Amino acid sequence: MSAGRWALPEGGGAGHTGGVHPLIDARTLDRAARENDDLVLLDVRWRLSGPPGITAYRAGHLPGAVFVDLDRELAGEPGPLGRHPLPSAEVFQAAMRGAGVRRDSLVVVYDDADATAAGRAWWCLRYFRHERVRVLDGGLRAWVAAGLPLTEKEPSPEPGDFTARPGGLPVLDAAGAAALAESGVLLDARAAERFRGEAEPVDPVAGHIPGAVNAPTWSNVGVDGRFLPGRVLRERFAALGATDAAEVGVYCGSGVTAAHEVLSLNLAGVPAALYVGSWSNWVADPGNPVATGL
């Protein structure tokens, strides 16, 4: 969107106000995987600095899980639109069909622990209008801690019939993010030192969008990688001005950890738009202003 105010496209929905709860615990997932033929497990492990998630997947994953590559299937080619722009509907649809996702599948996504990558997968599925999607709370770490097995066997799922239809969740472009920083609440999900402009390990310019409020993603989870309770998240976001009565948007470095923050806001009952291009798109235009400090 190119304006500060955002609204869901026709047929969309945001905030956890009903339907499938965004999270599932390891024990519940274990039972569901044994009892439901329509469940699809996606392993989306990923780290910005590597190694590739496929390496960890092949060393051991949840039984029946299919690996999905965040860089290639949950994002488009890096460039002026950002380091992780939206994947095309065609690319995302092909990846989900290849993983066996059908229009009525319950899809469960997981990463190592804190849902940084799983949050992006959850967001993409919701954006492309697949409602039945949940995140394994605590990720693979929680699965192992529950004494549940891993396997090196790679499944060969039947192709799915999922159809990707963009617009299920709201998005912002640079102009919309700038306007929202003035008229609503724009959260910056990066670490505080990056927000203040004291350090920038990835992008060519340090700082933040003027008017943004710092809300690091890692504050949404505990030391075990599980999400904090919804009431705690509501209190945290409310202290930053982000409530269900406000217009809220989120950005980060490239739209990955910001998707995790949108999920956290969802758990708190607060709808939020994602600036997919995030800081990497913002600084691609030298005409965009940059703020430093608090």
CA pair distance 108, 110, nearest whole angstrom: 7
Which letter does DSSP use for residue 84 in this model? S
Pairing of the two strands 39-43 and 66-67? parallel
User: Which residue, 225, 283, 237, is CA-closest to 264?
Assistant: 237
Residues 6+ apart with CB under 8 A from 215: 187, 188, 189, 236, 237, 240, 242, 250, 261
CA–chain centroid gap for 62, Å, is: 20
Type of residue at 246: A
Type of residue at 76: G
Contact 6, 247 (CB under 8 A): yes
Active centre residues (catalytic): 252
Which letter does DSSP use for residue 10 in this model? T
Residue ranges of E strands in the chain: 23-24, 39-43, 66-67, 106-110, 133-136, 171-172, 185-188, 213-214, 248-251, 273-275
The angle that helices 230-239 and 257-267 make with each other, rounded to 10 degrees, is 110
- CA separation (Å) from 181 to 45, 198, 200, 238, 248? 32, 21, 21, 16, 9
Tell me the longest C-alpha to C-alpha distance in the chain.
Answer: 55
